[in-house]
Amino acid sequence: MKKILAALAGSILIGALAVWGIVHTKQPPQSNEDEAPAEANTPGIVQLKPEQLTQAGIVVANLEPREVAREVKGYGRVIDTQPLLDLLAELRAAQATLEVSTKEYERVRALHANDQNASARALETASATVKRDQIQVETIRSRLGSAWGPAFIKSDAARLVQSLSSLEAVLIRVDLPVDESLKSSPATARVLSPFDPTRSAEARFLGRATMASAQTPGQGFLFLLQPNSFELRPEMGLITFLTLEGPRLRGVILPRSAIVRHQGQAWVYIQTGDGTFERKPVVLEHALDDGWFIDASAAPSGRVVVGGAQTLLSEELRPQIHLAD
Protein backbone atom coordinates (compact mmCIF):
# COMPACT_ATOMS: atom_id res chain seq x y z
CA MET A 1 0.00 0.00 0.00
CA LYS A 2 2.80 2.38 0.89
CA LYS A 3 4.49 1.67 -2.44
CA ILE A 4 1.28 2.50 -4.31
CA LEU A 5 0.84 5.83 -2.48
CA ALA A 6 4.46 6.81 -3.09
CA ALA A 7 4.17 6.08 -6.79
CA LEU A 8 0.95 8.09 -6.99
CA ALA A 9 2.52 11.08 -5.24
CA GLY A 10 5.48 11.00 -7.61
CA SER A 11 3.21 10.99 -10.65
CA ILE A 12 1.30 13.97 -9.34
CA LEU A 13 4.54 15.94 -8.72
CA ILE A 14 5.87 15.19 -12.20
CA GLY A 15 2.57 16.27 -13.78
CA ALA A 16 2.49 19.53 -11.85
CA LEU A 17 6.05 20.38 -12.88
CA ALA A 18 5.19 19.67 -16.52
CA VAL A 19 2.15 21.97 -16.42
CA TRP A 20 4.17 24.73 -14.75
CA GLY A 21 6.82 24.47 -17.45
CA ILE A 22 4.24 24.70 -20.26
CA VAL A 23 2.53 27.74 -18.75
CA HIS A 24 5.76 29.69 -18.22
CA THR A 25 7.08 28.74 -21.65
CA LYS A 26 4.01 30.20 -23.43
CA GLN A 27 3.71 33.36 -21.23
CA PRO A 28 5.61 36.31 -22.83
CA PRO A 29 8.14 38.13 -20.67
CA GLN A 30 6.71 41.17 -18.89
CA SER A 31 8.24 44.54 -19.73
CA ASN A 32 9.16 47.22 -17.24
CA GLU A 33 7.26 50.31 -18.31
CA ASP A 34 9.47 52.57 -16.21
CA GLU A 35 12.52 51.48 -18.21
CA ALA A 36 10.88 51.73 -21.66
CA PRO A 37 12.42 54.55 -23.75
CA ALA A 38 10.19 57.50 -24.63
CA GLU A 39 8.82 57.53 -28.15
CA ALA A 40 10.39 60.43 -30.09
CA ASN A 41 8.26 62.84 -32.12
CA THR A 42 8.80 63.06 -35.85
CA PRO A 43 11.41 65.81 -36.36
CA GLY A 44 9.63 69.13 -36.81
CA ILE A 45 6.24 67.72 -35.73
CA VAL A 46 4.69 68.13 -32.28
CA GLN A 47 1.43 66.54 -31.12
CA LEU A 48 -0.26 67.62 -27.91
CA LYS A 49 -3.40 66.49 -26.16
CA PRO A 50 -6.13 69.08 -25.41
CA GLU A 51 -5.14 69.34 -21.76
CA GLN A 52 -1.50 69.84 -22.76
CA LEU A 53 -2.50 72.67 -25.12
CA THR A 54 -4.19 74.48 -22.28
CA GLN A 55 -1.32 73.96 -19.87
CA ALA A 56 1.25 75.16 -22.45
CA GLY A 57 -0.74 78.31 -23.26
CA ILE A 58 -0.63 77.67 -26.99
CA VAL A 59 -2.13 80.54 -29.00
CA VAL A 60 -2.52 80.44 -32.80
CA ALA A 61 -3.52 83.26 -35.15
CA ASN A 62 -3.53 84.34 -38.76
CA LEU A 63 -0.69 86.78 -39.47
CA GLU A 64 -1.59 90.44 -39.98
CA PRO A 65 -1.12 91.71 -43.58
CA ARG A 66 1.18 94.70 -44.02
CA GLU A 67 2.67 96.84 -46.80
CA VAL A 68 6.14 98.38 -46.56
CA ALA A 69 8.35 100.42 -48.86
CA ARG A 70 10.76 98.61 -51.13
CA GLU A 71 14.32 98.55 -49.83
CA VAL A 72 17.83 97.62 -50.88
CA LYS A 73 20.41 96.41 -48.41
CA GLY A 74 23.51 98.52 -47.87
CA TYR A 75 26.54 98.47 -45.62
CA GLY A 76 26.96 101.51 -43.41
CA ARG A 77 29.75 102.98 -41.35
CA VAL A 78 29.63 105.79 -38.81
CA ILE A 79 32.00 108.46 -40.11
CA ASP A 80 34.61 110.18 -37.97
CA THR A 81 33.43 113.75 -38.52
CA GLN A 82 36.37 115.56 -36.92
CA PRO A 83 37.78 116.64 -40.33
CA LEU A 84 34.30 117.89 -41.25
CA LEU A 85 33.96 119.75 -37.95
CA ASP A 86 37.37 121.37 -38.45
CA LEU A 87 36.39 122.50 -41.93
CA LEU A 88 33.04 123.85 -40.74
CA ALA A 89 34.78 125.73 -37.93
CA GLU A 90 37.21 127.17 -40.48
CA LEU A 91 34.27 128.26 -42.63
CA ARG A 92 32.56 129.94 -39.68
CA ALA A 93 35.74 131.82 -38.82
CA ALA A 94 36.16 132.97 -42.43
CA GLN A 95 32.53 134.09 -42.56
CA ALA A 96 33.00 136.06 -39.33
CA THR A 97 36.11 137.74 -40.77
CA LEU A 98 34.21 138.61 -43.94
CA GLU A 99 31.40 140.11 -41.89
CA VAL A 100 33.85 142.38 -40.04
CA SER A 101 35.66 143.48 -43.19
CA THR A 102 32.35 144.16 -44.93
CA LYS A 103 31.22 146.42 -42.09
CA GLU A 104 34.57 148.26 -42.18
CA TYR A 105 34.28 148.79 -45.91
CA GLU A 106 30.78 150.24 -45.51
CA ARG A 107 32.06 152.61 -42.81
CA VAL A 108 35.01 153.80 -44.87
CA ARG A 109 32.84 154.24 -47.95
CA ALA A 110 30.38 156.37 -45.97
CA LEU A 111 33.18 158.53 -44.68
CA HIS A 112 34.68 158.87 -48.13
CA ALA A 113 31.34 159.99 -49.54
CA ASN A 114 30.93 162.53 -46.73
CA ASP A 115 33.27 165.38 -47.70
CA GLN A 116 36.21 163.03 -48.22
CA ASN A 117 36.63 162.20 -44.51
CA ALA A 118 38.26 158.97 -45.65
CA SER A 119 40.86 158.85 -48.38
CA ALA A 120 40.45 157.02 -51.65
CA ARG A 121 43.41 154.85 -50.67
CA ALA A 122 41.64 153.75 -47.45
CA LEU A 123 38.51 152.93 -49.44
CA GLU A 124 40.52 150.81 -51.90
CA THR A 125 42.22 148.97 -49.06
CA ALA A 126 38.91 148.21 -47.37
CA SER A 127 37.44 146.98 -50.67
CA ALA A 128 40.45 144.71 -51.30
CA THR A 129 40.12 143.24 -47.82
CA VAL A 130 36.47 142.35 -48.45
CA LYS A 131 37.35 140.68 -51.74
CA ARG A 132 40.15 138.72 -50.08
CA ASP A 133 37.81 137.51 -47.32
CA GLN A 134 35.13 136.61 -49.87
CA ILE A 135 37.64 134.48 -51.78
CA GLN A 136 38.63 132.77 -48.54
CA VAL A 137 35.01 131.88 -47.75
CA GLU A 138 34.37 130.58 -51.27
CA THR A 139 37.56 128.52 -51.16
CA ILE A 140 36.52 126.81 -47.95
CA ARG A 141 33.01 126.26 -49.31
CA SER A 142 34.52 124.62 -52.38
CA ARG A 143 36.67 122.34 -50.24
CA LEU A 144 33.68 121.50 -48.11
CA GLY A 145 31.51 120.67 -51.12
CA SER A 146 34.22 118.58 -52.77
CA ALA A 147 34.93 116.52 -49.67
CA TRP A 148 31.50 116.23 -48.10
CA GLY A 149 28.89 117.32 -50.63
CA PRO A 150 26.74 120.41 -51.20
CA ALA A 151 24.32 119.55 -48.38
CA PHE A 152 26.83 120.76 -45.81
CA ILE A 153 27.21 124.13 -47.52
CA LYS A 154 23.49 124.82 -47.31
CA SER A 155 22.97 123.52 -43.78
CA ASP A 156 23.05 125.44 -40.55
CA ALA A 157 26.75 125.00 -39.79
CA ALA A 158 26.58 126.12 -36.15
CA ARG A 159 23.77 123.72 -35.23
CA LEU A 160 25.32 120.85 -37.20
CA VAL A 161 28.72 121.33 -35.54
CA GLN A 162 27.16 121.26 -32.10
CA SER A 163 25.09 118.12 -32.70
CA LEU A 164 27.91 116.18 -34.39
CA SER A 165 30.58 117.17 -31.87
CA SER A 166 28.36 116.07 -28.96
CA LEU A 167 27.34 112.87 -30.82
CA GLU A 168 23.69 113.86 -30.52
CA ALA A 169 23.75 113.15 -34.26
CA VAL A 170 26.01 110.94 -36.36
CA LEU A 171 26.94 110.92 -40.01
CA ILE A 172 26.59 107.56 -41.74
CA ARG A 173 28.02 106.53 -45.08
CA VAL A 174 26.13 103.72 -46.80
CA ASP A 175 27.67 101.79 -49.69
CA LEU A 176 25.82 99.42 -51.99
CA PRO A 177 27.26 96.22 -53.45
CA VAL A 178 28.81 96.61 -56.89
CA ASP A 179 25.91 94.77 -58.55
CA GLU A 180 23.36 97.14 -56.99
CA SER A 181 22.60 100.57 -58.46
CA LEU A 182 19.95 103.17 -57.77
CA LYS A 183 18.61 105.40 -60.53
CA SER A 184 17.34 107.97 -58.04
CA SER A 185 18.52 108.97 -54.60
CA PRO A 186 16.82 107.35 -51.61
CA ALA A 187 14.81 109.56 -49.28
CA THR A 188 15.76 107.75 -46.09
CA ALA A 189 17.70 104.80 -44.76
CA ARG A 190 16.57 102.34 -42.12
CA VAL A 191 19.52 101.74 -39.80
CA LEU A 192 19.60 98.56 -37.70
CA SER A 193 20.98 98.83 -34.19
CA PRO A 194 24.35 97.02 -33.94
CA PHE A 195 23.36 95.93 -30.42
CA ASP A 196 19.82 94.75 -31.14
CA PRO A 197 18.93 93.92 -34.77
CA THR A 198 15.23 93.98 -33.90
CA ARG A 199 15.44 97.76 -33.48
CA SER A 200 15.87 100.28 -36.28
CA ALA A 201 15.92 104.04 -36.74
CA GLU A 202 15.39 106.29 -39.75
CA ALA A 203 18.27 108.40 -41.08
CA ARG A 204 17.79 111.42 -43.35
CA PHE A 205 19.44 111.48 -46.77
CA LEU A 206 22.03 114.25 -47.19
CA GLY A 207 23.59 113.50 -50.54
CA ARG A 208 25.71 111.15 -52.58
CA ALA A 209 29.22 110.40 -51.39
CA THR A 210 31.77 112.48 -53.30
CA MET A 211 34.47 109.79 -53.22
CA ALA A 212 34.36 106.03 -53.80
CA SER A 213 35.19 103.60 -51.03
CA ALA A 214 38.16 101.29 -51.49
CA GLN A 215 36.44 98.52 -49.52
CA THR A 216 33.04 98.75 -51.24
CA PRO A 217 33.38 100.44 -54.64
CA GLY A 218 29.63 100.60 -55.28
CA GLN A 219 27.40 103.66 -54.97
CA GLY A 220 27.86 105.61 -51.75
CA PHE A 221 25.37 107.82 -49.89
CA LEU A 222 25.52 110.04 -46.81
CA PHE A 223 22.80 110.07 -44.14
CA LEU A 224 22.29 111.98 -40.92
CA LEU A 225 20.92 110.03 -37.96
CA GLN A 226 19.46 112.46 -35.47
CA PRO A 227 18.89 111.81 -32.65
CA ASN A 228 21.61 109.24 -32.13
CA SER A 229 19.24 106.91 -30.29
CA PHE A 230 21.57 103.89 -30.53
CA GLU A 231 24.54 105.81 -29.08
CA LEU A 232 26.62 105.04 -32.15
CA ARG A 233 30.32 105.90 -32.25
CA PRO A 234 32.72 106.63 -35.13
CA GLU A 235 33.85 103.66 -37.26
CA MET A 236 31.01 101.39 -36.14
CA GLY A 237 29.77 99.08 -38.91
CA LEU A 238 26.05 99.00 -39.60
CA ILE A 239 23.47 97.14 -41.65
CA THR A 240 21.14 99.54 -43.42
CA PHE A 241 18.23 99.41 -45.85
CA LEU A 242 17.71 102.22 -48.34
CA THR A 243 14.12 103.15 -49.12
CA LEU A 244 13.23 102.95 -52.81
CA GLU A 245 10.51 104.60 -54.83
CA GLY A 246 7.81 102.55 -56.53
CA PRO A 247 5.12 100.06 -55.52
CA ARG A 248 5.17 98.91 -51.93
CA LEU A 249 5.85 95.33 -50.87
CA ARG A 250 2.99 93.22 -49.59
CA GLY A 251 3.41 90.67 -46.87
CA VAL A 252 2.64 89.89 -43.24
CA ILE A 253 3.92 90.84 -39.80
CA LEU A 254 5.45 87.97 -37.84
CA PRO A 255 5.34 88.67 -34.08
CA ARG A 256 8.61 88.10 -32.25
CA SER A 257 6.78 85.78 -29.84
CA ALA A 258 6.21 83.36 -32.74
CA ILE A 259 9.92 82.91 -33.47
CA VAL A 260 12.07 80.16 -31.98
CA ARG A 261 15.77 79.55 -32.58
CA HIS A 262 17.19 76.11 -33.23
CA GLN A 263 20.48 75.05 -34.82
CA GLY A 264 21.26 78.61 -35.87
CA GLN A 265 17.98 79.03 -37.76
CA ALA A 266 14.76 80.93 -37.08
CA TRP A 267 11.56 78.83 -37.08
CA VAL A 268 7.81 79.14 -36.53
CA TYR A 269 5.20 76.51 -35.75
CA ILE A 270 2.21 76.10 -38.06
CA GLN A 271 -0.95 74.38 -36.86
CA THR A 272 -1.64 71.47 -39.22
CA GLY A 273 -4.41 69.77 -37.22
CA ASP A 274 -6.07 69.51 -33.83
CA GLY A 275 -3.11 69.45 -31.46
CA THR A 276 -0.61 68.97 -34.29
CA PHE A 277 2.06 71.56 -35.16
CA GLU A 278 4.81 71.60 -37.75
CA ARG A 279 8.03 73.63 -37.46
CA LYS A 280 8.87 75.72 -40.54
CA PRO A 281 11.96 77.88 -41.26
CA VAL A 282 11.64 81.64 -41.80
CA VAL A 283 14.12 84.25 -43.02
CA LEU A 284 14.23 87.42 -40.92
CA GLU A 285 15.53 90.48 -42.78
CA HIS A 286 13.06 93.32 -42.27
CA ALA A 287 12.66 94.25 -38.59
CA LEU A 288 9.83 96.55 -37.54
CA ASP A 289 8.85 97.86 -34.13
CA ASP A 290 6.06 95.28 -33.77
CA GLY A 291 7.78 92.27 -35.34
CA TRP A 292 9.34 91.15 -38.62
CA PHE A 293 7.96 91.84 -42.07
CA ILE A 294 7.84 88.71 -44.23
CA ASP A 295 7.25 89.09 -47.96
CA ALA A 296 4.08 87.40 -49.21
CA SER A 297 6.11 85.03 -51.38
CA ALA A 298 8.00 83.71 -48.33
CA ALA A 299 5.30 84.04 -45.66
CA PRO A 300 4.29 80.85 -43.79
CA SER A 301 0.82 79.63 -44.75
CA GLY A 302 -1.79 78.67 -42.19
CA ARG A 303 -2.35 79.61 -38.60
CA VAL A 304 0.88 80.42 -36.77
CA VAL A 305 1.65 79.78 -33.11
CA VAL A 306 2.09 83.26 -31.62
CA GLY A 307 2.04 82.17 -27.98
CA GLY A 308 3.79 79.17 -26.45
CA ALA A 309 6.10 78.51 -29.42
CA GLN A 310 9.12 77.96 -27.17
CA THR A 311 7.13 75.39 -25.21
CA LEU A 312 6.42 73.49 -28.43
CA LEU A 313 10.13 73.44 -29.28
CA SER A 314 10.94 72.10 -25.81
CA GLU A 315 8.26 69.44 -26.19
CA GLU A 316 9.59 68.44 -29.61
CA LEU A 317 13.15 68.10 -28.37
CA ARG A 318 12.30 66.49 -25.00
CA PRO A 319 12.37 62.86 -26.24
CA GLN A 320 15.75 63.46 -27.86
CA ILE A 321 17.12 64.85 -24.62
CA HIS A 322 15.63 61.87 -22.73
CA LEU A 323 17.28 59.39 -25.11
CA ALA A 324 20.60 61.22 -24.87
CA ASP A 325 20.49 60.92 -21.08
Confidence of residue 322 (pLDDT cuts 50, 70, 90): low
Percent of the chain exceeding pLDDT 90 equals 47
Task: Please name the amino acid found at residue 196.
Answer: D
Instruction: Report pTM.
Output: 0.64
In sequence order, what are the residues at sequence separation of 6 or more whose Cβ sits closer than 8 angstroms to the Cβ of residue 95? 137
pLDDT single digits (tens) 58-82: 999 999 999 998 888 899 999 999 9
Question: Per-residue pLDDT for 186 more than 70?
Answer: yes
pLDDT single digits (tens) 4-50: 444 544 554 445 444 444 444 444 545 444 444 444 557 789 998 88
pLDDT single digits (tens) 119-178: 889 999 999 999 999 999 999 999 998 888 887 777 666 677 788 889 999 999 999 988
What is the longest distance spanned by two Cα atoms in the chain? 175
Confidence of residue 246 (pLDDT cuts 50, 70, 90): confident
| CA 209/CA 220 separation, integer angstroms | 5
| CA 88/CA 144 separation, integer angstroms | 8
Task: Please name the amino acid found at residue 9.
Answer: A
59 in Cβ contact with 307 (< 8 Å): yes
- At 36 the pLDDT is 41
